[in-house]
Structure 1
Amino acid sequence: MLKEIEIQNFRCFEQIKISGFERVNLIGGKNNAGKTALLEAIFLNVVPEPSSILLLRELRKESLLAMKAMPDKAWDNLFHVLEKDKSILIIGTDENNDTNQFTIQPIDPKIIDRKTLNLSTSHTNKSNESTFWVSSSTDLLIASSKGLINVNGDTDGITTDSIPTTGEVPIIPSFIRISGKELTQAYDRARLDDKDSEVLKAFQVIDPAIESVESFSIGEPTLYLRRKGEKRLPLSLFGDAMNRVAYIMLKLVNAKHKILLIDEIENGIHYTNHRNFWRILFRLAVELDTQIFATTHSLEMLQAFADVGLEPNQECSSAYFELARKPKTNQIIGIRRDLETLNYALEHQKGVRGE
């Protein structure tokens, strides 16, 4: 379980170190305070693959055509204030004080070859260190000791990692609506592991009248829900909240990396359902031995998080992290609040979202 992360020269972070992560972690702050970037840094540290760098571009909806048109600026958005003369460094530390180090640095595409990679990695990379090079050329390459990825989809014959779909990674963006086919496939995986009942319970938080979930593969695989006394209907007809909850729950019960990253967790979920939704997440985080990181702008979601975390006999550890900028330096810092401190601040209407 991740307990601490240190980030240098990545996105909006010049340098930041955040400690004290628990089983379930909620992250707040103003716009452009680094909430999404923090999730991305955790993702890169947990899944240190060349394809992970590409996936961040996909999730940010960065245009491949724009990258091709301006290859010298293709990877600028990864680096703090475009400082590509400095490497990106992300160091994660777990509860056993073991560390994983993830590094990204630009490299001249003319010198990327098998010999260069072998020489660069054979004596510098330990088993818990991952170094990647991004090249600003018309080829738009990502290189590592595992081989090369060409963003255009070609390969130079070394080793090419496939670009994963959003369903294969532990991060849930704030805006995405997943396809019915992908949700159905994820549900069938959960059903195979006898975890499908948890998905039904989550649906019932939003609509207690839901009594069954079924998957059918007639034409395109589709999930159907049935309310008491009504005919089954496809999930797509039940609105954004149901689709969002389905995606979160299926990601959680199928999480092979034992971590789940959720951006703007409140999206689509009515505030009256926040507490029951947190209760499910807290319980499953313990039962599935999975760590959860979520961001929010919602005061109601924050209050529900504190209330559930402070309930008697709550077995799941949790903490709140507020991201804010220092007035003098504009540097982002992370402030950890235990739930008692958070609840006190909420009750006395003190600023807890970067104010």
Structure 2
Amino acid sequence: MLKTLSIENFRCFKRFELNPLGRINLLVGANNSGKSSILEAIYLLLNPNPLNGLYEVCIGRNEYSIEEDSRKLDQRPTRQLHIAHLLYNHDLSLGTSLKIATSLTDGTQPQLTLTVLNQDNLQESFDLDGFEPLSETLKLEINSLAYLAKPLDLRLSAQGMLSLEDLRRFPRQVTRDQVTRDQELHQQSKAIQVQLMRTLGLSIGETTDLFDKISLTPEEDLVTKTLQTIEPRLQRIASEGSTRRYPSDSFVRGGLKVRLEGQDQPIPIGSMGEGMWRMLGLALAIVNAKDGVLLVDEIDTGLHFTAMGEMWRMICQTAQDLNVQVFATTHSRDCWQSLAEVVQEGGLEAEQVFVHRIHPDREASVPFDGEELAIATEQDLEVR
């Protein structure tokens, strides 16, 4: 598990520290205070493929544009990632460096750094056929939780844009002679499984993939029991199979069907309402994060306040049983108070739960442990 988290020059944070951390960590604070950015920082740091993490974080924020590649005018325009938006003050000046670091309970201290360098600092290993030197390069460096055996140098355009085509092509070229070594490093590092669930929830592709991984396992039973807290008549969940086609990145509710007591025909999951879909996503995400980390943005989205207690009971119990560390954000008073009530019931030891209040103008969070949360609830105090 993560014990601490430090961030430098990432999004709205010039410098920031999250400490101490427990098994359940709920981030609260005003809009635009950086709560979602903290989740993204953890995702970038722990993602076993840093290039995938870079892509998903930028695409998730719509930080890209469709541009023509000046080197390939005869081809269709491609997505260009706006790397500047990852950096504090959107500063892509040469020498600017972004750093995300943590200390783990096993004693290791992985870190990730992105540094803007000029083309003279390019590694020779990046000589790809058909590439012309550009004005700058983004160096992606991973330490401890390395996916690659050595740092990567990713070329940017003069405007600080990273071509998605380059992002896809580059790792295959660089790792061609390093595959065995990279696999060894990845195994030695004991890379942490990480699941990210954004405010919109899981896409259809993510939902069906995660369900397929647990189908006919004890984890499927856990997901079913979780949904029964919303709809007691639910008996079983199943995939809709190949007869239904959706875009894999669609966020409409679909891909699965349920059987209800007293109903002859299965019902599409989309007919069950937003609360059912949200609870399904949470249950699938946490059971697939076994021995790892679950990141959830606005965890209470789509849930009535009366369902939040059951949601936290499921999260706390499953996090203990499957050794998952949870980081979530919320704006809701009902959400943190429901968590405090679950701690009071004995759902999790007080020292394993922290609510962190985030201030954009402070270099560290204001933490409240489980006991302090209970006091705040009893005295009707505000921790957000």
- TM-score, normalising length: structure 1: 0.82
Distance 2:243 2:354 in 1: 45
| Residue 220 of structure 1: aligned partner | 244
| Residue 19 of structure 1: aligned partner | 19
Question: CA 1:128 to 1:246, structure 2 compared with 1: closer, same or farther past 3 Å?
Answer: closer
CA contact (8 A) 1:74 1:136 kept: no
CA contact (8 A) 1:5 1:91 kept: yes
| Unmatched 5+ stretches in structure 1 | 118-123, 143-147, 162-167
Aligned partner of 1:199 among 223, 233, 239: 223
Amino acid at match of 1:297: H
Other structure's SS at 2:106 match: coil
1:338 aligns with 2:369: yes
CA contact (8 A) 1:210 1:228 kept: yes
Q: String of CA shifts for 1:168-200, please: whole Å, max 9, x gaps.
A: 961011124511x54233212112433101111
1:211 Cα shift?
2.1
Question: CA 1:131 to 1:300, structure 2 compared with 1: closer, same or farther past 3 Å?
Answer: farther
Distance 1:253 1:72 in 2: 34
| Residue 135 of structure 2: aligned partner | none
Q: String of CA shifts for 1:189-248, please: whole Å, max 9, x gaps.
A: 112433101111111122222222222425138321122212320111112222222122
Question: CA 1:313 to 1:29, structure 2 compared with 1: closer, same or farther past 3 Å?
Answer: closer
Aligned partner of 1:137 among 157, 163, 169: 157
Distance 2:68 2:368 in 1: 40
1:104 aligns with 2:124: no
1:175 aligns with 2:209: no
After superposition, where does 1:22-33 map in structure 2 within 5 Å?
Answer: 22-33=22-33
CA contact (8 A) 1:27 1:296 kept: yes
Distance 2:65 2:381 in 1: 43
| Residue 50 of structure 1: aligned partner | 51
Aligned partner of 1:150 among 158, 161, 166: 166
1:304 Cα shift?
0.3
| Unmatched 5+ stretches in structure 2 | 70-76, 128-140, 180-192, 246-254
| Residue 379 of structure 2: aligned partner | 348
After superposition, where does 1:1-355 map in structure 2 within 5 Å?
Answer: 1-47=1-47, 49-65=50-66, 74-84=82-92, 85-108=95-118, 112-115=122-125, 127-128=144-145, 133-137=153-157, 140-141=161-162, 150-151=166-167, 153-155=168-170, 157-159=173-175, 170-179=195-204, 181-220=205-244, 222-230=255-263, 231-255=265-289, 258-312=292-346, 314=348, 317-325=352-360, 330-353=361-384
Question: CA 1:257 to 1:75, structure 2 compared with 1: closer, same or farther past 3 Å?
Answer: farther
| Residue 133 of structure 2: aligned partner | none
| Residue 145 of structure 1: aligned partner | none
Distance 1:126 1:30 in 2: 33
Q: String of CA shifts for 1:19-62, please: whole Å, max 9, x gaps.
A: 11111111111111110001111111211512211110111122
Distance 1:107 1:159 in 2: 22
Other structure's SS at 2:367 match: strand
Amino acid at match of 2:371: E
CA contact (8 A) 1:10 1:88 kept: yes
Q: String of CA shifts for 1:293-345, please: whole Å, max 9, x gaps.
A: 111111001100011012136458211111124xxxx3453011112212322
- Report the aligned-residue RMSD: 3.2
Question: CA 1:314 to 1:78, structure 2 compared with 1: closer, same or farther past 3 Å?
Answer: closer
Amino acid at match of 1:61: N
CA contact (8 A) 2:99 2:112 kept: yes
Q: String of CA shifts for 1:66-112, please: whole Å, max 9, x gaps.
A: 7979x999311111112334211111101233200110112335754
Q: String of CA shifts for 1:109-134, please: whole Å, max 9, x gaps.
A: 575444479xxxxxx97545685555
Q: Percent identity?
A: 27
CA contact (8 A) 2:66 2:80 kept: no
CA contact (8 A) 1:170 1:257 kept: no
Other structure's SS at 1:350 match: coil
Distance 2:319 2:219 in 1: 13
Number of corresponding residues? 329
Question: CA 1:342 to 1:314, structure 2 compared with 1: closer, same or farther past 3 Å?
Answer: closer
Question: CA 1:51 to 1:247, structure 2 compared with 1: closer, same or farther past 3 Å?
Answer: same
Question: CA 1:50 to 1:83, structure 2 compared with 1: closer, same or farther past 3 Å?
Answer: same
Amino acid at match of 2:232: P
